[in-house]
């Protein structure tokens, strides 16, 4: 289960990439020179999108639960992931990027919204001039 939500090309990320591509958006993937290596980068819009697995990024939601074995190891690991996320987020905003985070629980969980609705929210954000930092998450 954990291996299934790790790293690049996780399922929610693929869903989002495909849907945005179908709507005509083009983006670059996992740019190593940007803080936090954003999953999708929309250069001309100065916007990046992260698709975060709730376990690895320690999201406060029902998908996150510390494993009962090696609990200290996982607690430390996830705390350091969270620390990195905060630093990347701060740096991106400071250098003029807009940052949208889509959490796994927004796409796949019992509290998920229809994927099309999530995509609409992403598109609205990309096209709008609202908050420079936005989170889309499940409804719990
Ligand atoms: Zn979550």
Reading the chain (140 residues) residue by residue, the pLDDT tens digits are 454 445 556 689 999 999 999 999 999 999 999 999 999 999 999 999 999 999 999 999 999 999 999 999 999 999 999 999 999 999 999 999 999 999 999 998 777 888 899 999 999 999 999 899 999 999 86
Instruction: Find the 25 Cα to ligand 1 centroid distance in Å.
Output: 25
Q: In angstroms, rounded to a whole number, what is the distance separating the alpha carbons of residues 58 and 80? A: 10
Instruction: Find the 136 Cα to ligand 1 centroid distance in Å.
Output: 9
pLDDT of residue 8: 58
Give the distance from CA 2 to its chain's centroid: 17
Q: In angstroms, rounded to a whole number, what is the distance separating the alpha carbons of residues 62 and 103? A: 12
- The encoded tokens of residue 137 equal 């998450």
Q: In angstroms, rounded to a whole number, what is the distance separating the alpha carbons of residues 137 and 103? A: 5
pLDDT of residue 3: 46
* Residues having C-beta closer than 5 Å to ion ligand 1: 54, 59, 61, 63, 103, 105
Instruction: Find the 95 Cα to ligand 1 centroid distance in Å.
Output: 27
Radius of gyration of the CA atoms of the chain, in A: 15
pLDDT of residue 6: 53
Q: In angstroms, rounded to a whole number, what is the distance separating the alpha carbons of residues 55 and 105? A: 10
pTM above 0.85, yes or no: yes
Instruction: Find the 92 Cα to ligand 1 centroid distance in Å.
Output: 22
Q: In angstroms, rounded to a whole number, what is the distance separating the alpha carbons of residues 41 and 77? A: 26
Instruction: Find the 104 Cα to ligand 1 centroid distance in Å.
Output: 6
Give the distance from CA 81 to its chain's centroid: 13
Instruction: Find the 137 Cα to ligand 1 centroid distance in Å.
Output: 6
For the residues of 80-125, what is the DSSP string, one character each?
Answer: HHHHHHHHHHHHHHHTT-EEEEEEHHHHSSTTPPPHHHHHHHHHHH
pLDDT of residue 1: 45
Instruction: Find the 94 Cα to ligand 1 centroid distance in Å.
Output: 25
Q: Is residue 26 a contact partner of residue 78, using CB atoms and an 8 Å limit?
A: no
pLDDT of residue 124: 97
């Amino acid at each position: 289960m954990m291996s299934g939500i790790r790293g690049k090309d996780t399922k929610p990320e693929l869903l989002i990439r495909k849907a945005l591509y179908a709507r005509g958006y083009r983006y670059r993937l996992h740019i190593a020179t940007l803080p936090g290596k954003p999953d999708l980068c929309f250069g001309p819009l100065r916007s990046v999108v992260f698709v975060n697995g709730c376990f690895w990024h320690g999201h406060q939601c029902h998908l996150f639960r510390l494993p009962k074995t090696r609990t200290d190891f996982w607690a430390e690991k996830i705390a350091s992931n969270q620390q990195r996320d905060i630093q990347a987020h701060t740096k991106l905003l400071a250098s003029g990027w807009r940052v949208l985070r889509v959490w796994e629980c927004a796409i796949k969980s019992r509290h998920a919204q229809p994927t099309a609705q999530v995509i609409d929210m992403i598109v609205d954000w990309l096209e709008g001039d609202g908050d420079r930092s936005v989170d889309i998450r499940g409804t719990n």
